Structure 1
Amino acid sequence: MRSTLPITSLMITLVVAGGRSDSLFANEEVYSAPSQEELRLSVEEWLAFKGLGQSPVVDAVEPFLKFESDPQAEELFDALMRTLYLADDDVRALVDQCRDLRYGPEVLQLKAPTAERTATEPLLGHNVKYFLARHLSMLTAYNEAAELFHTIDPSYVVDPAGCLFYQSVCEHHLLMREDGLESLDALLNRTENLPIRYQKLGELMLQDLEGVKEKSLGEVARQMKDVQRRLDLSKTDEGVQEVENKIVETLDELIKKLEEQQQQAQAGGSGGGSSAPDQGASDTYLGGIKGEGLTDKKDIGNKDNWGDLPPKAREAAKNMLDRQFPSHYRQAVEEYLKKLADRPAPK
């Protein structure tokens, strides 16, 4: 027997919102939280599907679904999780594992409901996935949280606004521009009764993502911050190294462009005269390479002194930063390069 639990079957407004090419945003419609009564009916149907319709669990969870006044979506979600915790062993084990609010290797071992179980028990599957994804995002494990969010259908989530908000937070932090803009569009434009805090923060994230330009100082600064976050979580996998490579390459390109612009301006101002001695090709050192400002990809991460810049290269990069970049960018880049120099080569 296949469960018929989707909350969408109980109300008109709780449907899948539009935007994405996959099943998460298939239509141009609106998300809305269920009412207290609609949630109660969904829980009863799920308990019956699990063969618990006549068990003591029914009486035990009944107080969770009673409220003195109209509950907010967060309260309904909390009531559902309390119910699932009491009625399901797997949910209880997962919630107990999430009580520790510190990130560690054990966090990556947490198991969300499988695709098979989510298909047959969507009320449990999608809401428990949201619970875990939100927990991961609070631990700044944004990569793992984002992957999990992309398997969640908010039309089954009791608190769709919270689900879309935390998904947007992850995508915003990871500079997943297209995904973030689509999630924020669903949050801000296709979610009913959106809490003010989600609205205001969502608008700020939207404005920020819309202003992000590829291969810019702003993007580099965000990438450096993300690398530091991952290192703080003791993550040194290929994903981290890939971002580090992009940072060095982007900085190299920016320095080269600024150098070319400077040389053109000087040539125009002096009738085609030569550049100043301290602004020649030596300024394009970055990543241990001189000349055309290109990073030697073979050397990144493959030496014992991985991330270390030769003294001349470091001085050239510093000179260019001193002349062209705002002080806060210069400081951030210098600190980042120092941290790279202190790190051991990846194994």
Structure 2
Amino acid sequence: MALSCLFSSCIFTLASLGLPTDPPPAPPAGPKFTLPDPPPLAAPLPPQDVVRGFVDHVTKSAAFGEEAVAFVNRQYDERVAAAPQDLAAFPDSALAVLSEDFRRALDSATADDPTAAASRFAALAHGDDPYLSVNAAFFAAQALIDLDNVRDAHALLHDVFTRHAPATRYTTHADHLLFLLAYSQVHTLQYDAAAAGFAHFLQHCPDTPERFTVTARQILTELERRQPGRLGDVHDLMDFSRRELRLARTDEEMRARQAEAIRLLDQLIEEAEENEKNGQCNNSGDSKKNQRRSQAQRNRQPQRNAQQSELREAGGADKELEAARRARPGESWGKMPAREREQILQALQKQFPSQYRDLVEQYYRQLSRESSRP
């Protein structure tokens, strides 16, 4: 009975997503979607090395205006002389001077317009300049996750990690970038890649704020305990479909994930029915043997058989329920108090540099003064 209720609940959830449930379609041989190869990962560089490489790159590049490059170099020299340990935010502010599109994207982000921010940063992320592309992808991924569009966030991160490998050398946000990549992998059901990503993050980013490392350890533990092909995977597939339908996206990959959810659920139902049949056969065999026992034993046997049957049914249900309770990827994240989850998301979203406007205004004031000279 417990199993029937459990599977009925799953079927109801599938129906609420718009999946056909009566009668169930013939399950396909397997999923039609393919998982991408995980991109190469590398350890983050010290912020001072990233910024020095950034300034050298900008100085040699012909993609940026001469006046903007000269201004960035002067600002870099002044900051190195004043506080060389506080350079982490400099590339973002400098990129806002060097790229008008990057500045507008930052304006959208700080104005709490994630849709515009995601669109503008994503356009920059597809560019060829590694520093502009990787840092734009970092901000775009934050905005997309804020919109619950994890699939596009992953696609963007996977692209820059592949095209600009190692991507961590081009940003001072490397620790959070690695976290976002693994986070997007686990929510697009790339379990092995996500496990490797979180392990890499924990190994190479020990100084990241505790709320990120704790979450990474929780999800990594859940991934290690995952039971493939069980109810946990059905739940994840349905959750993936829910997000896609909310975004009005019904492409081949989403339909393949839906079909895989139905296939797994159908397989679990068949297993439960087979286990129930085996239990009934065992009960029948036990009854025939018990007929040859003493009258006292036969009098007591019906009660024992009933108890054994109840235990057998309950045991099967308990095992399946336990499988459902076993940690699913992201389960602890989902059960985390809303306040704590919000703090982590806000911490990611607040990576937008607060100083970039000051540097941009300073740059334009300088241009104004120079243009007014006789």
What TM-score does the superposition give when structure 2 sets the normalisation length?
A: 0.56
State which of 9, 23, 31 in structure 1 corresponds to 2:44: 31
Relative contact order, CA 8 A, sep 6+: which one is greater?
2
User: Displacement, 1:81?
Assistant: 1.7
Q: Is 1:126–1:156's contact at 8 Å kept on the other side of the alignment?
A: yes
- Structure 1 position 326, deviation (Å): 4.5
- What's the CA shift for 1:192? 5.5
CA distance in 2, matches of 1:52, 1:106: 22
1:112 corresponding residue in structure 2: 123
Structure 1 segment 195-234 matched on structure 2, within 5 A: 195-234=209-248
The 2-side partners of 1:122 and 1:188 are apart by: 25
Answer 1 or 2: which has greater helix percent.
2
Structure 1 residues 107, 193: CA separation in 2 closer, same or farther (over 3 Å shift)? closer
Q: Deviations over 1:137-160 (max 9, x none)?
A: 232211111111112222322221
Instruction: Select which of 165, 186, 195 maps to 1:181.
Output: 195
* 8 Å CA contact retained: 2:237, 2:261: yes
Given that 2:96 and 2:102 are in contact with CA atoms closer than 8 Å, whether structure 1 keeps it comes out as yes
Alignment CA distance shift 1:164-1:252 (3 Å): same
Structure 1, unmatched stretches of 5+, are: 1-19, 274-322, 331-347
Instruction: Look up the match of 1:81.
Output: 92
2:85 to 50, 70, 83: 70
Distance 1:54 1:244 in 2: 53
Q: Match for 1:34: what amino acid?
A: P
Residue matched to 2:30: none
Mapped partners of 1:90, 1:47: distance in 2: 19
Residue identity matched to 2:102: V
Kept in 2, the 8 Å contact 1:94–1:110? The answer is yes
Q: How far apart, CA to CA, are the structure 1 residues paired with 2:237 and 2:196?
A: 21
In 2, Cα distance between the equivalents of 1:54 and 1:106? 27
Q: Which residue of 2 aligns with 1:130?
A: 138
2:58 pairs with 1:49 = no
- SS across alignment from 1:150: helix
Aligned to 1:268: 282
SS of the aligned residue for 2:272 comes to helix
What displacement does 1:57 show? 5.7
Q: Could you give the per-residue CA deviations for residues 78-129 of structure 1, whole angstroms, max 9, x where no partner exists?
A: 43222112211332344445557567699568643466x43xx322222222
Shift of 1:230: 2.1
Aligned to 1:169: 183
Residue in structure 1 matched with residue 263 of structure 2 by the alignment: 249
In 2, Cα distance between equivalents of 1:89 and 1:230:
33
Letter in 1 for 2:149: A
> How high is the TM-score relative to the length of structure 1?
0.60
Check whether the contact 2:182–2:194 (CA below 8 A) recurs between aligned residues: yes
> For the Cα contact (< 8 Å) 1:61–1:86, is it kept in 2?
no
Q: CA deviation at 1:260?
A: 0.2
Report the alpha carbon displacement of residue 32 of structure 1 after superposing the two structures with TM.
2.9
CA contact (8 A) 2:124 2:133 kept: yes
Provide the aligned length of Structure 1 versus Structure 2.
252
Residue identity in the other structure for 2:280: Q
Equivalent residue letter for 2:147 = L
CA-atom RMSD in angstroms: 3.8
Q: Distance in 1 between matches of 2:50 and 2:259?
A: 51
Q: Which moved more, 1:189-198 or 1:165-174?
A: 189-198
Q: Name the larger-Rg structure.
A: 2
Cα distance per residue 1:202-228 (max 9 Å; x no partner): 111111122222221111112222222
Going from structure 1 to structure 2, the CA distance change for 1:180 and 1:101 (only over 3 Å counts) comes to: farther
Whole-angstrom distance in 2 between the partners of 1:235 and 1:102: 22
Q: Quick one: which amino acid aligns to residue 150 of structure 1?
A: H
2:329 is matched with which residue? none
SS at match of 1:255: helix
Q: Secondary structure at the match of 1:30?
A: coil
The code of the aligned residue for 1:55 comes to E
